[in-house]
Amino acid sequence: MLEALDQCGYTQPSPIQQAAIPDLLLGRDLVGQAQTGTGKTAAFALPLLARLDPDHRGPQILVLTPTRELAIQVSESFQRYAACSTGVQVLALYGGSDFRDQIHRLRRGVQVIVGTPGRVMDHLRQGTLETSGLRAFVLDEADEMLRMGFIDDVQWILEQLPEQRQVVLFSATMPPEIRRIAQRHLREPAEVIIRTQRNDAARIRQRHLIAPPAQKLAALQRVLEAHGRGGVIIFARTKAVTVTVAEALEASGTACAVLNGDIPQTLRERTIERLKDGRVDVLVATDVAARGLDVDRIGLVINYDVPFDSEAYVHRIGRTGRAGREGEAILFLTPRERRLLHGLERAVGQAIEPMEVPGDGTINQRRLDRLQERLLEHLEQPPAPGRQEEVALMEEIILRVCRERDVAPERLALAALRLAQGDQPLLVAPTSFHVAERSPRGEGQGRPEGSGRSEGPVPLPAGMVRYRVDIGWRHRVKPGQLVGAIAGDTGLEGRRIGRITILADHSTVDLPEGLSERQLDGLQRCRVMQRELRPRRLEVG
């Protein structure tokens, strides 16, 4: 096991591991409380594996997790820790995977089972999961089990297990219902409580911004544009919102993926792998789908919707800043949700500092920095195998142009950059993605900010044309829906669509001049929420 830990790069135990491992090695029951990302999996997996009998082929360790993703992660951790041990087999049991294949694996002999409550109950009822030789039972993320309504299932599973077994309960928080389970099923347990240290909390920079509902998508796009390297997880309350947000981001050119309860298990696993290896940078997810998600490269967590409770907020931001790394979390609040901020600050024990939506200058500087980074990466990157001849031909073209046209290398490099950039503007257009705020005077009664005022229309940026479309906030339209529909039907890149102003019964959209006939035809056919937009060009003086 020490050899396996060396391969994992572990050099010293975290506080929860240092406190829990000695008691678990002695075979004691244990109740552990520590925040997510502190190394709880290794805290129970290592000592239980050390006490496992590899010659006995039946289940000896059963770990219960609230979600499929966490079950897969925990089972992968067990496999890493047992990589240098002989004869240790690990199996994850969860819904959405082949039941018959799981039965086949169980019959061949498995010592470590990691599963979700529903699938473990199915196997226990079918008699395909033998527990007579079980030595240890682990209840991981117990508070989340409670929040997801699994506590009755957990109680039933505990009652099916042999009387002599070691029981381990880990939880980020300790509600009364979880304490009652511990008192009923654990025998004189050791208690380990790891308080979040100030420097641990400080590793996650937490900020919040205020954005009216109609401006949230535009603000989100600006935050993502200003964000540096690393993966991003965006948390939304419902499956419908994850799809809406992802569609709007894709329309603006962002490579993103969705993770919610409607996504098939095999696709969910592929999505997480794509996030881990960098093929996807932005993941839009619900709480349940991303529970227990541990991806090293997550540098930013965005709470697009305020979570239902402070515990969910703690778990969400715990997806970044894991195992000593630094991270960042941004909380979106509407003006009416501002009062919820104090409760969340109490839960994390620190202030959630305010921030402004990134302005044009910040975004433009980030675009310039990103272009410079890409240029330097290609400068230092050797040619791919088999493409050396192509690179040699490119060098020949450069030398020929410089010689025949007497062109300075700087001018040729600039021409190459312009060629790579194409028609896509390098800098953001002024006032891009700005939307009017709906008045808070009541449902269906308010007037959008800026409508009916004497200042006149908003100036039109150079090179843009303003169109009126027959849909407004009375129809519950969002800017992202307009961006997605127009981009999809015209073939325009989302970032080329300018200012969108949502008014009561119509909206205005700024589009580039010189649209082709095919793009204009697509614009005329465009529909949002089953409504024809009927776009008409407006003359702006």
d(CA 320, CA 327): 5
- List pLDDT tens digits, range 418-452: 887 777 777 776 544 444 433 333 333 333 433 33
Instruction: Give the residue extent of every domain in the chain.
Output: 2-193, 198-358, 429-541
Return the ∠ at Cα 504 (arms to 501 and 509), rounded to 5°.
25
47: region left, alpha or beta (phi > 0 left; psi from -120 to 50 alpha): alpha
**pLDDT tens figures, 4-49:** 888 888 888 888 899 999 999 999 999 998 766 678 899 999 999 9
205, 309, 137, 152 alpha-carbon torsion, rounded to 10°: -170
pTM of the model as a whole: 0.54
pLDDT band at 282 (very low <50, low <70, confident <90, very high): very high
Fold of 429-541: Alpha-Beta Plaits (3.30.70)
225 near 363, Cβ under 8 Å? yes
pLDDT classification of 223: cutoffs 50, 70, 90:
very high
Retrieve residue 32's tokens: 């552990």
Q: SS3 of 92, please? A: strand
The CA R_g of the chain, rounded to the nearest whole Å, is: 28
Average pLDDT, integer, range 230-254: 88
How do the residues of the chain divide into helix, strand and coil, expressed in percent and rounded to 5?
45, 15, 40
Percent of the chain with pLDDT over 90: 29
Residues 469-519: tens digit of each pLDDT: 999 887 878 887 888 788 878 888 777 888 888 887 889 999 999 888 888
- Minimum mean pLDDT among 84-88, 114-118, 453-457: which range? 453-457
How open is the CA angle 34-37-38, to the nearest 5 degrees? 50
* Residue indicated by tokens 């894709």: 250
321 CB-contact burial (10 Å; exposed 0-12 / middle 13-18 / buried 19+): buried
What CATH number was assigned to the domain covering residues 2-193?
3.40.50.300
**Contact criterion met (CB below 8 Å) for 316 and 287:** yes
Say if CB 526 and CB 457 are below 8 A apart. no
Query: Does 69 have pLDDT greater than 70?
Result: yes
* Tokens encoding 36: 């997510």
Give which of 322, 354, 350 is closest to 338, Cα–Cα. Answer: 354
Q: What percentage of the chain has pLDDT greater than the value 70?
A: 90
Q: Give Cα 301 to chain centroid, integer Å.
A: 7
Summarised one tens digit per residue, pLDDT across range 341-393 is 888 887 787 889 998 888 877 888 888 888 888 788 878 778 778 788 888 88
Sign of CA dihedral 68, 70, 74, 76: positive
For residue 440, what pLDDT is reported? Answer: 34
Q: Which of 105-119, 230-244, 372-386 has the lowest mean pLDDT?
A: 372-386
Q: What pLDDT does residue 437 have?
A: 37
2-193 shares its CATH topology with 198-358:
yes
239, amino acid identity: K
CA distance 374 to 173: 43
Average pLDDT, the chain: 83
Higher pLDDT: 401 or 444? It is 401
Q: Where are the alpha helices (DSSP H) in 137-291?
A: 142-147, 151-160, 176-185, 198-202, 216-226, 239-251, 265-276
Class of domain 198-358: alpha beta
| 352, 331 Cβ separation under 8 angstroms | yes
